[in-house]
């Protein structure tokens, strides 16, 4: 079975690792992670990729959860019977699994970092929020947050130093959890299995 993967740029490394570990025959294309700052643009970007790949794959895995699209991604994918997205509201949940829900209950004022976000915090988060130009906005944006929780996917790509620096820059307490890719991989494998059985 030939699998196409349309992935958010923030999870390309993880999707590639899982696809390789599973031995899938796949091709991957990425959509810029910056679209998370404009989630209304995610579904149209995915649609363009789907149309460009028309007829080339048996199954297309869409490397997004809902990711703030408000159901627009699901409405789009309903028109493409061979395309499936990852279950869940966002990547923090499909990385963290139960840990995410426990943290959300324990401390709703949590700012989450993944390997990707920790690695690109200074180049992506800070300028996108304008904090490089207007540092006084930090407390306006983050005044209701209490903690940074770094969800580390890979010890081989440890970004804890950058994650700690991000927490310090935001004036928040720092916590770290090793999540790995188990929840994400289980969901992707289930999507492939269900498609084969359909």
Together in a domain, 43 and 119: no
Amino acid 198: pLDDT: 87
Regions in the chain scoring below 70 on pLDDT: none
Together in a domain, 70 and 136: no
Domain range for 38 is 2-89+181-197
Amino acid 74: pLDDT: 97
Q: What is the pLDDT of residues 91-116, one digit of tens each?
A: 999 999 999 999 999 999 999 999 99
How big, in percent rounded to 5, are the helix, strand and coil portions of the chain?
A: 55, 20, 25
Question: Which are the contacts of 111, defined by CB distance < 8 A and separation ≥ 6?
Answer: 142, 145, 147, 148, 149, 170, 172
CATH number (domain holding residue 40) = 3.40.50
Together in a domain, 154 and 172: yes
Number of domains in the chain: 2
Q: Does the reported pTM lie above 0.85? A: yes
Amino acid 36: pLDDT: 87
Together in a domain, 173 and 185: no
């Amino acid at each position: 079975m030939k699998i196409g993967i349309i992935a958010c740029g923030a999870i390309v490394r993880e999707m590639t690792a899982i696809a390789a570990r599973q031995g899938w025959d796949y091709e991957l294309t990425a959509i810029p992670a910056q679209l998370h700052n404009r989630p209304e643009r995610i579904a149209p970007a995915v649609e363009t990729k789907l149309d460009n790949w028309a007829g080339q794959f048996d199954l297309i895995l869409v490397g997004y959860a809902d990711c703030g699209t408000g159901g627009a991604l699901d409405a789009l994918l309903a028109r493409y019977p061979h395309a499936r997205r990852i279950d869940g509201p966002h990547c923090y949940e499909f990385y963290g699994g139960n840990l995410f829900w426990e943290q959300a209950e324990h401390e709703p004022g949590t700012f989450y970092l993944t390997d990707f976000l920790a690695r690109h915090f200074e180049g992506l988060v800070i300028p996108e929020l304008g904090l490089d130009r207007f540092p006084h906005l930090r407390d306006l944006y983050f005044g209701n947050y209490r903690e940074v929780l770094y969800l580390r996917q890979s010890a081989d790509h440890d970004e804890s130093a950058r994650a700690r620096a991000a927490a310090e820059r935001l004036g928040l307490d720092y916590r770290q959890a090793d999540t790995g890719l188990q929840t994400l991989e289980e969901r992707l494998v289930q999507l492939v299995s269900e498609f084969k059985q359909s």
